[in-house]
Amino acid sequence: MDPKEKIIFALDVERFEEAQQLVMELRDHVGMFKVGKQLFTHCGPKIVDFIKLKNSKVFLDLKYHDIPNTVSKAAVEAAKLGVDLLNVHASGGFSMMNQAKQALVEAGKNPDLHRPKIIAVTVLTSLDDGELKKVGFDIPVIELTKKLALLAKEAGLDGVVAGGSEIEMIRETCGRDFLIITPGVRIEDKKDDQKRTITPKEAIQKGASYIVLGRAVRDAADPGALLKKIAEDIRDALSL
């Protein structure tokens, strides 16, 4: 496998033109582009169309959280757009996750539609034990993360988003075929607003399936060269 396939670049920009430029500049160095709430709300499906037209993959990071019927229908619309990966909040519950997965399997029977993978966000990294308690969850973050990852697996989801410190626990709990997508990846000691960070090599060694990189790459003097170096580090991690 080409190590660059494990790199997801977060297109965290507002304007279509900026996103287009980043896609053109980085598409040979990454496996997938992540389109989040800001860019999708501003541009709509045309940004997904553009990335697909350039033969790259799309992770639509809209973190759906609603009643099962609504999330299932949104997931099928995302599949129709041609995205390769999409996500929901595991706290939306078993039925919501399971019905969304079933709806995608059903939609995938259409030969013109490629079924995207569906993963779950367990506990947002912006929440700590105190914040969780305030919204009525009297359980430590780590325990809730484990519980929700298992629930996502039982509901048939393909994987979860997990911070660097959770990779090993989730790999152990959910098995080797479960996808683990890890954001909060930093090259050096520059953390921005991420509290817990991990390097690309460490993340892959611990068992991450994909790493998400945003600012560390965008702000680099030569993003292409940096991504080549990261791909080499990933190759090393995979061959250890």
Please identify which residue in 27, 117, 215, 229 interacts with ligand C5P, judged by CB under 6 A. 215
Q: Give 68 or 184: the residue with its C-beta nearer to ligand C5P.
A: 184
In whole angstroms, the minimum distance from the beta carbon of 190 to ligand C5P comes to 10
Q: How far apart are CA 28 and CA 25, in angstroms?
A: 8
182 Cβ neighbours under 8 A, 6+ residues apart? 161, 162, 163, 164, 167, 198, 203, 208, 210, 211, 212
Helix crossing, 16-26 with 46-53: angle to 10°?
Answer: 20
Q: Give 68 or 163: the residue with its C-beta nearer to ligand C5P.
A: 163
In whole angstroms, the minimum distance from the beta carbon of 115 to ligand C5P comes to 23
Q: How far apart are CA 184 and CA 163, in angstroms?
A: 7
- The answer to whether the CB of 234 falls within 8 A of the CB of 201 is yes
The phi, psi pair for 43, rounded to 5°, reads -100, -30
Please identify which residue in 93, 116, 184, 200 interacts with ligand C5P, judged by CB under 6 A. 184
Find the helix or strand (DSSP H, E) in which 149 lies.
Answer: helix 141-154
The phi, psi pair for 225, rounded to 5°, reads -65, -40
Catalytic residue among 52, 63, 147, 228: 63
| x/- map, 19-58, ligand C5P, by CB under 6 A | -----------------x----------------------
| x/- map, 72-111, ligand C5P, by CB under 6 A | ----------------------------------------
Is 63 a residue of the active site? yes
List residues near ligand C5P by CB under 6 A.
10, 12, 36, 125, 161, 163, 183-184, 192, 194, 212-216
